[in-house]
Amino acid sequence: MNDFGPDMTSKNAVLLIILDGWGYSNNIEGNAIKQAKTLHWDRLTTQCPNTLITASGEHVGLPKDQAGNSEVGHIHIGAGRLIQQDLQRINTSIESGHFKTITQTQTLFRKIRKQGRTLHLIGLLSEGGVHSHINHLLALIEVANEAQCPTHIHAILDGRDTPPSSAKQDLINLERYIENKTYVKLTTLSGRFWAMDRDCRWERTQQAYNILTNPSPQTFNAIQALEQSYQHNLTDEFVNPVALNEAHPISSEDTVLCFNFRADRMHQLLQALGQERFDHFERPIQPIQSLYTMTPFPNSPPHTQALFKHEQHIMTLGEVLEMNQLKQLRIAETEKYAHVTFFMDGGQKANYSMMDTLLIPSPKVKTYDQTPEMSLKTLNQKLIEALQTSEYDLIIANFSNADMVGHTGKIAQTIEAIECIDQALGELIPIIQRTHTHCIITADHGNAESMGTPEHPITSHSNNLVPFVYVGPDEYRCASKKSLSDIAPTVLSLLDCPIPQAMTGKSILIPIS
């Protein structure tokens, strides 16, 4: 597709579009992308240089066959090299036995026991490996029980990165594991819809907070509570916060340890538990001073301590642009704003002088199958305006619809979301051509192409390959066997910008002479 006229601009900018959750599969059944009417996408993938790249497992620093996710995907897109992820780092620590010897943990648990206080383990009970892993909880339980540290587990149920009604077996396994652990109790349950909101729906966070700090214990156990929720058609993600028969309120003098390793969906609850200045709702207890996380959480209360430190990622894509005085824009809806900023910059807050950011508020709905378009029209219009200014050397945009609607398991609505994306691309293409922009369209992981059936929906990510498409004024072909780590070097090559040694990825685009 070479509809690019004479180049009237002084520079060729790069537009990097990340279609969140847009994987590749030949299957038709359960594939919202294949079933959607995608006139513009079909044209791009038949007329433009394109290939498929890896976005899961060892290719992005995860365990073998582990599906990718938005955090990991954006980290690798920005880093331009392979980064061992927190999931794998913690797994390795547990497998080697090092986890049991972490001085900070040993000292903390002994201190709690000596003071007669309680350890509260809060996190996502899941084998999904996206925000947490159940094995990390089991390792903490083992160490705490050996230290004779009174421990209460507050389990957040998944059903989003795992099958919608899979928590029952996880709870059975957990209760068996703690059956002979004298010092450990399972005390509350909550669906992640409540406890892990990241969209400032503080009324949801309040429901989870209240069950932790001011519970009304019920007479039933965890399995009974879950089955009661299922009877009301509430799957794991949406289980109402409930205190079980052995629940006791968290005291401000207790210790809270969040065993999620990913920050973005826990910062609201942790702020409610530990932030000194907090005005989102009334709190019955004083802020908790002894607050811990598995890895550093940037928006948590300042006194929060982490068991595992973040590895510093230098020379990310954004940093290289800043060093070369190239101007950049990051744009996304609320749901993916942290990904195009914090995670794209290697898991750190970067305040580059040559970088602008634009957050487009996502619709205030319970689940995005209610508004498959989300706020894409507004985002796309802002994107078009930014391209037409010729102000930026690089624009990074995230289209979140395929992932956010795909997570609902509603294939008809996800098809609608895909068609909204296709329409947005159709509106962008003439602007890309008119401005002689180099455009890369790719994805961070799969989801919408592998959704199961209406009877057995799949709401989690896939480990499928993802697309890489080049739309631009120059002639290229695509190299094979590439991954997300090769995107940053590709962008820098298009900008004629030196690629730092720290980036071990190679450009996906090969010039045709």
pLDDT for 11 = 65
- Looking at the fold, whether 294 and 187 belong to one and the same domain comes out as yes
Residue ranges of the chain with pLDDT lower than 70? 1-2, 4-11
pLDDT for 28 = 97
Phi-psi region of 489 (alpha: psi -120 to 50; beta: other; left: phi over 0): alpha
Cα 509 from chain centroid (whole Å): 28
C-alpha span between 351 and 319 (Å, rounded): 10
Amino acid symbol at 320:
V
Full residue range of the structural domain in which residue 110 is found: 87-306
Percentages helix, strand, coil for the chain (3-state, rounded to 5) are 35, 15, 45
Q: Which two tokens stand for residue 60?
A: 């992005």
Q: What is the pTM of this model?
A: 0.85
497, part of any domain: yes
Instruction: Give the sign of the dihedral formed by CA 56, CA 59, CA 61, CA 64.
Output: positive
What DSSP line would sit under 395-449, residue for residue? EEEEE-HHHHHHTTT-HHHHHHHHHHHHHHHHHHHHHHHHTT-EEEEE-SSB-TT
358, part of any domain: no
Amino acid symbol at 162:
T
**Looking at residue 489, which CATH number applies to its domain?**
3.40.720.10
340, part of any domain: no
- Looking at the fold, whether 223 and 282 belong to one and the same domain comes out as yes
- Looking at the fold, whether 129 and 239 belong to one and the same domain comes out as yes
pLDDT for 246 = 82
pLDDT for 313 = 87
pLDDT for 4 = 66
143, part of any domain: yes
- Looking at the fold, whether 170 and 52 belong to one and the same domain comes out as no
Q: Give, for 388, the enclosing helix (H) or strand (E).
A: helix 376-389
pLDDT for 106 = 87
- Looking at the fold, whether 125 and 147 belong to one and the same domain comes out as yes
CB 247 within 8 A of CB 196: no
CB 21 within 8 A of CB 443: yes
Q: Give, for 360, the enclosing helix (H) or strand (E).
A: strand 355-360
CB 137 within 8 A of CB 131: no
Q: Which two tokens stand for residue 433?
A: 């051509």
240 contacts: CB under 8 Å, gap ≥ 6: 190, 191, 194, 207, 229, 234
Phi-psi region of 374 (alpha: psi -120 to 50; beta: other; left: phi over 0): left
- Looking at the fold, whether 259 and 290 belong to one and the same domain comes out as yes
C-alpha span between 484 and 76 (Å, rounded): 6
Any catalytic annotation for residue 252?
no
- Looking at the fold, whether 258 and 288 belong to one and the same domain comes out as yes
- Looking at the fold, whether 44 and 180 belong to one and the same domain comes out as no
- Looking at the fold, whether 98 and 72 belong to one and the same domain comes out as no
pLDDT for 7 = 58
- Looking at the fold, whether 186 and 296 belong to one and the same domain comes out as yes
Q: How many domains does the chain have?
A: 2
C-alpha span between 444 and 75 (Å, rounded): 9
Q: Give, for 172, the enclosing helix (H) or strand (E).
A: helix 167-178
169 contacts: CB under 8 Å, gap ≥ 6: none
Residue with tokens 């200045």: 277
CB 150 within 8 A of CB 121: no
180, part of any domain: yes
174, part of any domain: yes
353, part of any domain: no
- Looking at the fold, whether 173 and 211 belong to one and the same domain comes out as yes
Question: Which residue out of 10, 25, 70, 96 is catalytically annotated?
Answer: 70
Query: What stretches of 19-146 show up as alpha helix (H) in DSSP?
Result: 32-35, 39-47, 70-79, 86-96, 103-115, 134-146
348, part of any domain: no
- Looking at the fold, whether 273 and 415 belong to one and the same domain comes out as no
**Looking at residue 262, which CATH number applies to its domain?**
3.40.1450.10
For 280-339, write each residue's pLDDT tens digit.
Answer: 999 999 999 999 999 999 889 999 999 998 888 899 999 999 999 999 999 999 999 999
